[in-house]
Structures are given as structure tokens and as C-alpha cells.
Structure 1
Amino acid sequence: MEKYTVIQSEHVSKYLVVLCRHFARKVESTWDDEKGEVHFPVGKAYMATDVTKNTLTIRCVAENEQKVNGVIAVIDSHVHMFSRRETLQLTWHSA
């Protein structure tokens, strides 16, 4: 099961790095300024920026809907925690 969201912001590279660095404290995470991958116990999150469009696409992948929703809940709460200066509305779509 896979769901994704696209964040529109001038700070997408910053969000990618901050999120991956934060998650790396507890789970396996790899990243650079353009892409990142986080391995949660229930599933994975893949992040990719497109700086020409100021977008960050986050794909959450897990073996079933309950687990993918668990990954989404973690991503949602942390995006909102790190985006205090701007209001980001995350809309998740099935892939």
C-alpha cells in the first residue's frame, strides 16, 4: 500500500533535511538536499524535492492500510511541528 502528498513551500529542502535528521535519532534514515528515505518499524517514507517547483513529495509505503496510516500520522505530526512559520496542509492520495 502506498500513499503520497506534495508540499508546496520555498523551504522544501530544509523540511526534507530537518525531518530526516530528526527521524535518524530513532530509526534508519538517509538523505541529502534532494531526497531522503526513512525506515520506520511499520513502513517507509521516501521524500524528494523539486526545487524548480518548490515541492516536496513524500511517499509512504507499508504492507497494509493500517501501517501506512501509522507512517502518515508520524509524518503529519512532524511536518506540522517543524513548519511553525507557515501553515502546511497535507493531503494524502493513494498511489
Structure 2
Amino acid sequence: MTESRAVVGTPHASRYLQQLCKHWAHRFETESNATQARIALPLGETRLTADAETLTIDLTAHDPASLPELRDVVVCHIERFAFRETLRFEWT
């Protein structure tokens, strides 16, 4: 398993977390509340944590080769919900 984390500054972290879970709930296994979420995607698992100023995204890819695609999928979807602001995703 390969892991990666991004901490994204936004005052709308909880909103984006909830929108992402609702968006994917019809296709994938999800668990969520206003501050934490887990989404089981075919490429790996996504865990999100929201507080007043940040959205923390923890990814666990099934294999190292799928990590870039998993990052891209998650970022693309969050950016769609956050079209009114520019988010910075710095992965570690």
C-alpha cells in the first residue's frame, strides 16, 4: 500500500467533504459525518478530515502505480465543488 496526504486550506472543508461523499455514495462504499469521511474507491481508500480552516486528505492506493491517478480523481472532484475558490493541493 502506498500513502499520500494533502492539507488544503479552505473555510468550506466540511461542505466539500460532505459533497464528495454524497456524490460517490451511489457507486462506492462511503462513511461520513460533518468532519470525517472514508470512501472506498477501486484505486484505493480516501479518508478526509475537515476542521474550520483545512481539509486533510489521506489516500491509500492499492499499488504505487495507481497513486497518481487516485490523487487526480480526488482533486478533480473536489475542485468541481470548489469552483468559487482556488485550492492548493500539496501532496506528501
In 1, distance between residues paired with 2:66 and 2:75?
14
Q: Does 1:68 align with 2:67?
A: yes
Q: Residue 49 of structure 1 aligns with which residue?
A: 50
Write out aligned runs for 1:1-95 (5 A).
Answer: 1-51=2-52, 54-93=53-92
* RMSD of aligned alpha carbons: 1.0
Structure 1 segments, 4+ long, off by >6 Å, are none
What is the count of residue pairs matched by the alignment? 91
- Unaligned stretches of 5+ in structure 1? none
TM-score by length of 1: 0.89
- Unaligned stretches of 5+ in structure 2? none
- Aligned-residue offset at 1:28: 0.8
Partner amino acid, structure 2, of 1:49:
A
In 2, distance between residues paired with 1:86 and 1:35?
22
